[in-house]
Structures are given as structure tokens and as C-alpha cells.
Amino acid sequence: MNTLLEVNKVVKQYGNYVALNEVSLAVPQGSIYGLLGPNGAGKTSLIRIINQITMPDSGQIILDGEKLQPKHVQYIGYLPEERGLYQSMKVGEQCLYLAQMKGLSKAEAKKQLDYWFDRLGIQGWWNKKIQELSKGMAQKIQFVVCVLHQPKLLIFDEPFSGFDPVNANVIKDEILALKEQGATIIFSTHRMESVEELCDHIALIHKSNKLIEGKLDDVKRQHKTNSFEVGILTDNVEKLMYDITQKFTVSPAHFKSLNNELKLEIQLGNSVPNELLNVLTQRGQLTHFVEKIPTVHDIFIQTVTENKV
């Protein structure tokens, strides 16, 4: 897979504070790339550098094979976390203005606006002022402004904040559709379930350093602990527990089920699953046997707490 955006050992300092410490990333073409990290990790600094809002102190950024330069602003669409619009300007006029700033001609901008307004069902808003719209409505306009110029690279910083579940879904579908059309998307959020749902690549930045990067599946594979959730119906719990603890590490598990069975989380260590199955099937009726795959949430919390220093 080609790399659309390459961040190469980028350093950014504000006075004595290091916001980014030699951070390198590779965002593959056509991916949805989750940029994760706790508050103050340096995500916004990095996003601002990619948008050429600020310049890195050292390191470089390659977009589509070229060193990042002013003309690239028209290839990038940016939806900032802290976002707003001119309150007393009319919706249509404002969208035209912002689209023209991205290098679109007035006619082309008009055409694209008609398409998007139609698609999102907001045709009637053209002559409304932003201050007459609700927050969610304004957010939709911002989304349109961000994607209007058909950018190759889209950067969404917390795109779902401020949307109700229905509209969040609309936006999610639009993001997926944009990916289908070939856009590459950098997606920064604290909502891990949406990362799980949308992203195929992730990177985790913590305390100005990149700690994790890769395909979501690979990252998960690296972080799995070879443990299984087990549900079993048995008459002789003591015997069962004795057998298992001989070979494996056991802790109680919590999952939902209809039976009143014994729920366990079992770490296999160096053994293979079949060894565990052999033990279990001898002692009772197996109702639940699932490999425990770490969620992005788990990986996030684990990595951040491990690197507290």
C-alpha cells in the first residue's frame, strides 16, 4: 500500500516545552488512520503542522511524494476540534468564501455545495445566518466546508462531538463513503468505540512521543495476552479449579450469558488452546470459549499507564 503522508522525525518546541519529540508516522493511501493519545499528548500540534498552520522546528513531512508546501493546502481538508463559523455571515456565502480559500473557483464551489447540501438534506439553509442555526446544524456546515474541495487527505479532529446519534451516524456514513472514493482520513478522537469501528490503522502519541503505530489488527495481535474467556457448567468446581490452576493462571471473568455457569478468564502462557480444551471438556459442559482480543480502549489505557513516567 502506498504511503500518502509521511511524517519524518518531526520536532516542535514551545519555549522549553517539547510538544513533539521526533515523531514519525506513515499514513497509507486510502486508510482511515486513528491518531490517538491523551489530552496534551501533542496530537493537535502534529495536526497543525500537517495543516501548515505552524512549522516544525525540525523534521519533514512528505505528502504524496512531495515535501509539504503551501500549494498542498488544497489537497487537505481539516475539521478542527475547536471549530466555528462567522456568526453573522450567511451559510451559502460563507461556504463559498471558505471553498474559494481552498482554491476552488466560485462556479466549482457552487456546484459542489449544491451536491453536498442536497446530499445532507440542507438545501433550505443557503440564506440563513449561522447564528440562526443550532450547534449540530452548524457542525454539518463545517463538515461540508471540510470536504467540499475533494481533498486527498482529510483530517477530522473529534468529528462526532456535538452531533446527536442520528447525525453522528450520517457523518460516519459520509466518512466511510469518502474512504470508498479513495480519500485518506486521519481521525483523531477519544471515542475508542468509533476507532474500533472505523480505523484500519492507528498510532498512539503520549507525552510528545509516538508509542504505537501500525495496522489495527497487528497492534491488537501484538497486545493480546493469549488468554481466553471460558464459561463452563460443572458439578465439581473444586476439582475443576484444581486441574486448571495446575497449568494456567486463572481469574474471574465478567461476561453476559443466560446460564448460571462458572465464568473464568484463563491465561494460557505458552500452551495452546487445545490443552485447555482437553482439561475443560473432561470436567464439565463448555458453554463459552472465546479468545480475549484487547480492545483499542484496553491498549490505550495499558500503554498510557505503563508510560506514566
Residues within the interface to another protein (CB under 8 A): 14-15, 48, 51-54, 70, 73, 76, 78, 80, 82-89, 97-98, 100-102, 142, 145-146
* CA 26/CA 113 separation, integer angstroms: 32
Q: How far is the CB of 141 from another protein (least distance, A)?
A: 11
Give me the DSSP letters along 34-97. EEE--TTSSHHHHHHHHTTSS--SEEEEEETTEE--GGGGGGEEEE-SS----TTSBHHHHHHH
Of the pair 84, 165, the CB lying nearest another protein is at 84
Of the pair 88, 285, the CB lying nearest another protein is at 88
Q: Answer for the pair 149, 77: CB distance below 8 angstroms, yes or no.
A: yes
Q: Which residues of 243-262 are buried (b: 16+ CB within 10 A; e: fewer)?
A: bbeeebebeebeeeeeeebb
Residue type, 212: I
Of the pair 51, 271, the CB lying nearest another protein is at 51
Residue type, 99: A
Tell which residue, 251, 188, 256, has the closest CA to residue 37: 188
Of the pair 84, 252, the CB lying nearest another protein is at 84
Of the pair 89, 212, the CB lying nearest another protein is at 89
Q: Give me Rg for the CA atoms of the chain.
A: 24
Q: How far is the CB of 97 from another protein (least distance, A)?
A: 6
Of the pair 12, 201, the CB lying nearest another protein is at 12
Q: How far is the CB of 150 from another protein (least distance, A)?
A: 15
Of the pair 82, 180, the CB lying nearest another protein is at 82
Q: How far is the CB of 85 from another protein (least distance, A)?
A: 5
HSE (side-chain half, CA atoms, 13 Å) at 291: 12
Longest dimension (CA), the chain: 78
Q: How far is the CB of 268 from another protein (least distance, A)?
A: 49
Tell which residue, 131, 213, 137, 215, has the closest CA to residue 171: 137
For cell 498510532, what's the residue? 203
Of the pair 184, 303, the CB lying nearest another protein is at 184
Contacts of 46 (CB under 8 A, 6+ apart): 7, 10, 12, 20, 23, 25, 35, 205
Residue 195: all three cell numbers together: 476507532
Q: How far is the CB of 73 from another protein (least distance, A)?
A: 5
